[in-house]
Amino acid sequence: MAEPTFRAPKGTRDILPPDSGRLRALIDEFAAAAGLRGFGEVVSPMFEDLGVFKRLGEETDVVTKEMFDFLDKGDPPQHLALRPELTASICRAYAEHRPVPPWKIWYEGPQFRYEQPQAGRYRQFTQVGVEVLGADDPQVDVDVISLGWDFYRTLGLRQVELVINSMGDASCRPQYMAALTDHLVGHRSDLSPQSQVTLDRNPLRILDSKRDEDQAVIAAAPSMVDYLNEECSVHFEEVRAGLDALGIPYSMSPRLVRGFDYYTKTVFEFVGDALGGSQNAVGGGGRYDRLVEDLGGPPTAGIGFALGVDRILLACDAEGVFPGPATAVSVFVVDVTGGGHALDVCTRLREAGIGADRAYGGRSMKAQMKVADRSGAPFAAIIGEDEVAAGEVTLRDLRGEAGQRRVALDDLVRDVRALTTN
């Protein structure tokens, strides 16, 4: 094949059938799970004022290095950015529309981050997620985490682990930050050059570092849970008790701080053990009790998660679960009389709600049967001169043992239904 003139931009992919069908099926599964728990869908813009995303934390990688931002053509121009995630947009929407709390919403769609692409890491990737705004109750944390947990189970994934931590709140975090900073400054020379720079700007972000040189210093760092005030400590205990009551296993990770600055109290991550390497987080989230206020809204508690659809599908491949849906086409119509009858037969089937497809171009029986096989349809309806003369079609089983038989055109819908509902 000749080199194409253009390719999809670096870090992006065309998702073609049948993979796109699998992606759609996964999103539909998520929509059903969220709907069952009373979440409604929000469809929000793919770009926002850059200021919305700056609230994710001025020193986070997502804001400093990974934003796809641009000036629009206005006078004066507005500084916009493609969304790198959806929590900030949802909080902006909450501040703008002031819905009645608790506001339980779900979303799906592409996110954009200018990252170094590698397996499981793209510049455009799809997330599904939920947010609950206006409720501080630890039961909400349990509900949200269990939705994520149950969703992976529904897909058939068994090698996903839940890791949790608490980030405290504005009254206990400063003491922890002081202790963490002391520790990191004391070991400055043992840190990687990049983390030495980060240390002066945002010491917490060093805990996100995956660099080997940083790991010993990180392992010896103080833990946030040892600094929690009474309220945060009780909140975290109740979250854990709720997970225990549901029988959801988890491990505690004192270093789990997640990549954004907005988290308070509960944070959690879902790790896909079947995915090797560092891109093994298949989802994560946490509580953010300040973000709506930061975006100009009333003080509002919030919690949510985002799950990485592309990575979940890689995890499904690795565990051999959640195959793509079967084709919606039940009958492939092969017409060797020129093609006019195929149109009639397809129309009859489709009007009865039976998926039907056909070949074009008046090709030979052999060529059309090849297309029928490739289509994945379980049955072929073959039309030759004999069949036309008798007002019949030959119905052939392409997958099972049923062989073939002639059926009257007027009975075709009934017969296909009988065969496909068995």
Q: Which residues ranging from 180 to 239 are in contact with ligand AMP (CB under 6 A)? A: none
Nearest to 313 by CA among 74, 152, 78: 152
| Closer residue to ligand AMP (CB): 35 or 117 | 117
* Least Å from the CB of residue 139 to ligand AMP: 23
**Interior CA angle at 143 toward 141 and 149, to 5°?**
100
Nearest to 285 by CA among 101, 87, 88: 87
Asked if residue 122 binds ligand AMP (CB under 6 A), the reply is: yes
- Mark 240-269 with x for binding to ligand AMP (rule: CB under 6 A) and - for no binding: -------------------x----------
Of 125, 149, 152, 262, the residue at the interface with ligand AMP (CB under 6 A) is: 125
Rounded Cα gap, residues 250 and 234, in angstroms: 18
| Closer residue to ligand AMP (CB): 259 or 376 | 259
Asked if residue 108 binds ligand AMP (CB under 6 A), the reply is: no
Q: Which residue has the tokens 């793919």?
A: 46
Omega prior to 102 cis, within 30 of 0: yes
Q: How many CA atoms lie within 13 A of 327 on its CB side?
A: 17
Instruction: Name residue 267's amino acid.
Output: V
The dihedral formed by the CA atoms of 107, 109, 112 and 115, expressed in degrees to the nearest 10: 90
As a whole number of Å, the end-to-end CA separation of the chain is 44
- Mark 25-64 with x for binding to ligand AMP (rule: CB under 6 A) and - for no binding: ----------------------------------------
- Mark 296-325 with x for binding to ligand AMP (rule: CB under 6 A) and - for no binding: ----------x-x-xx--------------
Chain position whose Cβ is nearest to ligand AMP = 308
| Closer residue to ligand AMP (CB): 116 or 347 | 116
Rounded Cα gap, residues 79 and 74, in angstroms: 10
Asked if residue 127 binds ligand AMP (CB under 6 A), the reply is: yes
Name the one range near ligand AMP by CB under 6 A: 38-46, 120-128, 160-168, 288-296.
120-128
Nearest to 74 by CA among 44, 49, 111, 46: 49
- Positions in the binding site for ligand AMP (CB under 6 A): 85, 113, 115, 120-122, 125, 127, 259, 281-284, 306, 308, 310-311
